[in-house]
A = this chain, B = another copy of it.
Amino acid sequence: MRLILLSGGSGKRLWPLSNGSRTKQFLKVLKNEQGERESMVQRIWRQLASVGMMDHAYIATCSAQVDLIRNHLGGGVPIIVEPERRDTFAAIALASVYLYSEVGVPPDETVCVLPVDPFVETTFFEKVKGLEAALERTGAQLALIGSKPTYPSEKYGYILPDYEALSGHPEAFLIKGFVEKPPEKEAERLMGAGALWNCGVFGFKLGFLLNLLKERGYPDEYKELTARYSSLPKRSFDYEVVEKAGLMVSVVYENDWKDLGTWNTLTEEMEAPVLGKGIIDEDCLNTHVVNELDIPVAVLGLSNIVVACSSDGILVSDKAASQRIKDLLHTVEHSPMYGETRWGQYTILDFSRLEDGRETLVKKVEIQAGKNLDYGFHKSRNKCWIIQSGQGRAVLDGRIQEVKNGDCLLIPERTKHAVLAVSHLVLIEVQTGKDLMKEDSVLNLSDWIEIGKLGQSD
């Protein structure tokens, strides 16, 4: 069995902590058994490892998330990169063809697709394993996981199982239909009739999907499909495959399954009411603070609220209303002030633009030990680096120098520059010039060896 984990998301519902570059699965608001903070993607990867499934898992995502995934899971994690965002059908098709033509997975092997961010007990993955037996015993084209609803949610999709149709298979039930996000009354009726929450997990034989692509005239070779990626329909797997499939069965998962996609559901899983600097007065019940800023938050006399702060903004919301942030954001002018990258992370401390267009940008840049900024130059901006902590090896137009706390480097425009973090390196970068929020780096790929040598020179 192979697993495909889909990592996507727009990053709006958990604003201001999530943004275009850091979607919800990368927020480190959970805790592992050792009490260390972990993200949803780290949690699922840890869970897969604990049930021996990690070695058969692949992550399908877009190029914007590749650095983040490697930061969270390490450099060795296998990633299948979508050439562009084209919804789940295209992503699953590309990943399937990759498994077949690049990894050599045979057509009769089971493939299970799951979101990268469900909040579940580890027993959930035993159910994922069980999809293989369900497919083989029932001969179904697709096997899904349905979770026993705990309340009549209006936000989930429902699977309607026929508990009688397949009496010979006690753990897998025929699916007779689906209902998407019903109103509460209808959801109550569905619950009473034994309907299940659709967990978004799809099990199938690799050959099933390869045949489906073949019928539609798509290649089963990875590079060829990559080249034709933009011709794949931009639609969901549910629309393109599930709704048109033949026999489908569902396995039932009876423990906690949650989509931590809103502040309301996410804070329920937080161990402590305050993450970061903050204090909540005793008279506040069920109130949470998630604060990534370096200044304290004080909450007084307010229950059932969430306060979330990042360098992108500050959300203060009644928990039940927090899902509406997505709509409100259209009216908030904001650009992301925090980003995670291949080499670490940065926070924008200050940005100003004069009437004549000249700008100043102050960034705090953190580079992980052993990583380096790309070697290149800017066409029209000057930079100043002041080293805050850590040891580094900087190169300016080929000249290498060791840098440490207190050192100040001036980098005029068109000066090639990079820095390697010998230990975890933090620096303040002040840029001056025009269009500083846009990338104007010219990377010197021919000089890669030069910067590559930095890490090995002692």
Contact = CB atoms under 8 A, between A and B. Distances in A.
Contacts of A362: 349, 362, 364, 428
B350 A349 contact: yes
Number of copies: 2
Contact of A430 (B301, B324, B389, B430): B430
B384 A386 contact: yes
Nearest to A312: B295
Interface in A401-458: 405-406, 408, 410, 426, 428, 430, 432-433
B354 A325 contact: no
Interface in A286-327: 291, 293-302, 305, 307, 309, 311-318, 320-322, 324-325
Contacts of A216: none
Contacts of A364: 350, 362
Contact of A386 (B293, B406, B430): B430
A71 to B, nearest CB: 21
A120 to B, nearest CB: 28
Contacts of A324: 281, 300-301
Contacts of A426: 352
A403 to B, nearest CB: 12
Interface stretch (A122-130, A252-260, A331-339): A331-339
A328 interface: yes
A331 to B, nearest CB: 6
Interface residues of A, number: 63
Contact of A316 (B277, B307, B333, B382): B307
Nearest to A430: B386
A388 interface: yes
Contact of A432 (B331, B337, B406): B406
A272 interface: no
A138 to B, nearest CB: 46
Nearest to A281: B328
A329 interface: yes
Contact of A294 (B320, B328, B350, B360): B350
Contacts of A384: 384, 386, 408, 430
Nearest to A287: B316
Interface string A377-397: 000001010101100000000
Given A298-B315, A299-B317, A316-B316, 13 more contacts: A16-B298, A279-B328, A281-B321, A281-B324, A283-B321, A298-B328, A301-B318, A302-B321, A307-B314, A307-B316, A352-B389, A358-B406, A384-B430
23 contacts: A279-B328, A281-B321, A281-B328, A295-B337, A296-B314, A296-B332, A297-B313, A298-B325, A300-B324, A301-B322, A301-B324, A302-B317, A314-B314, A349-B362, A352-B389, A352-B426, A360-B405, A360-B406, A362-B364, A384-B408, A386-B430, A388-B432, A408-B410
* 3 interchain residue pairs of minimum CB distance: A301-B321, A301-B318, A300-B317
